[in-house]
C-alpha cells in the first residue's frame, strides 16, 4: 500500500468531472498536425492496469524532437504477454511503479494532443492505472493514427501498425513501446491532415478499486 503522504501530495491537484471516456459527440478538425505527443503502452496481462512499458515520442513543428521510454513495475507479477513484447517480471521488478513515474510522465501529456495507434486501447490503460493508484486525472485531446491511416490509405489490406509501417517504409520493432510510439508519430505526420479528427478526453477523480492477491507494489 502506498502511504497517506503520497496520496496527500496529489490532493492539491484539481479533480475533473466524469470518467475517462471517448467523447464521440465532439470532434475537432485539425488541418496542420505539427505538434503532438505519440504514446504506446505495453501491458503484462489482460488487466488494463498492468502497464509494464510506455513509450513517448514528442513532435514539434512537424519534427520528432524527443523520445523516451520506461519499463514499469505493474501491480501484478503475472506476465502473460511476454511472448508478445519480450518483457518479463524479472525485467521490471526493480523498476519504478506507475505512481512513482507519473510526475515524470504527466507533463508530456497534460493539455497536449496525444496520439496512439488504436487510441482507445492506450487511453483505457492510462485510465486504468490512474484509477488503480487513485491519481487525479487530466484533460487532453486525442488523435488515432489507426483512424488516420484508414482515411489516408483506404486500400491497404488492413491498417494494423505493422502493415501501415511497412507500407510507409517506417522502421518498426513491433510491441516495443518506443518503436510503436515513433511509428504512430510518423503515420500521423504522413497522413492527410485534413482527414484527422481530434477528440477531447475528459477525466475524473478516480475511485479506489479492490486490490487482488497479486499486488506487489
At 74-116, the pLDDT tens digits run 999 999 999 989 999 999 999 999 999 999 999 999 889 999 9
Query: Is 40 domain-assigned?
Result: yes
Closest by Cα among 109, 147, 184, 173 to 30: 147
Task: Name the residue range of residue 53's domain.
Answer: 32-118+171-196
Closest by Cα among 185, 122, 118, 172 to 146: 118
Q: What is the mean pLDDT of residues 20-47?
A: 68
Q: How confident is the model at residue 67 (pLDDT cuts 50, 70, 90)?
A: very high
Query: Is 81 domain-assigned?
Result: yes
Task: Measure the CA–CA gap between 123 and 115, rounded to whole angstroms.
Answer: 10
Task: Measure the CA–CA gap between 79 and 112, rounded to whole angstroms.
Answer: 31
Task: Measure the CA–CA gap between 174 and 162, rounded to whole angstroms.
Answer: 7
- Domains: count for the chain: 1
pTM: 0.79
Strand bridging mode 28-29 / 197-201:
antiparallel
User: Cell numbers of 52, please?
Assistant: 509494464
Query: Is 130 domain-assigned?
Result: no
Closest by Cα among 142, 141, 178, 144 to 164: 144
Query: Is 104 domain-assigned?
Result: yes
What's 82's domain CATH number? 3.30.420.10
At 136 the pLDDT is 87
Q: What is the mean pLDDT of residues 51-56?
A: 98
Query: Is 1 domain-assigned?
Result: no
Query: Is 158 domain-assigned?
Result: no
At 32 the pLDDT is 61
Query: Is 177 domain-assigned?
Result: yes
Query: Is 217 domain-assigned?
Result: no
At 101-154, the pLDDT tens digits run 999 999 999 889 999 999 999 999 999 999 999 998 788 999 999 999 999 999
Amino acid at each position: 500500500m502506498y502511504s497517506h503522504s503520497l496520496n496527500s501530495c496529489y490532493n492539491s491537484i484539481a479533480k475533473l468531472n466524469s470518467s475517462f471516456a471517448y467523447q464521440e459527440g465532439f470532434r475537432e478538425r485539425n488541418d496542420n498536425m505539427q505538434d503532438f505527443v505519440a504514446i504506446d503502452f505495453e501491458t503484462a496481462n489482460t488487466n488494463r492496469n498492468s502497464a509494464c512499458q510506455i513509450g513517448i515520442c514528442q513532435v514539434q513543428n512537424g519534427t520528432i524532437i524527443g523520445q523516451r521510454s520506461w519499463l514499469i513495475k505493474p501491480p501484478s507479477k503475472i506476465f502473460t504477454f511476454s511472448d508478445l513484447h519480450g518483457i518479463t517480471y524479472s525485467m521490471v521488478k526493480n523498476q519504478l511503479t506507475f505512481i512513482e513515474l507519473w510526475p515524470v510522465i504527466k507533463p508530456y501529456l497534460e493539455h497536449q494532443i496525444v496520439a496512439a495507434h488504436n487510441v482507445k486501447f492506450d487511453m483505457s490503460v492510462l485510465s486504468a492505472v490512474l484509477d488503480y493508484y487513485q491519481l487525479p486525472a487530466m484533460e487532453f485531446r486525442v488523435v488515432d493514427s489507426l483512424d488516420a491511416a484508414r482515411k489516408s490509405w483506404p486500400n491497404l489490406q488492413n491498417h494494423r501498425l505493422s502493415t501501415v509501417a511497412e507500407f510507409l517504409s517506417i522502421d518498426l520493432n513491433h510491441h516495443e513501446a518506443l518503436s510503436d510510439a515513433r511509428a504512430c508519430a510518423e503515420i500521423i505526420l504522413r497522413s492527410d491532415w485534413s482527414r484527422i479528427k481530434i477528440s477531447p478526453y475528459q477525466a475524473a477523480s478516480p475511485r479506489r478499486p479492490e486490490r487482488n492477491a497479486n499486488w506487489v507494489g
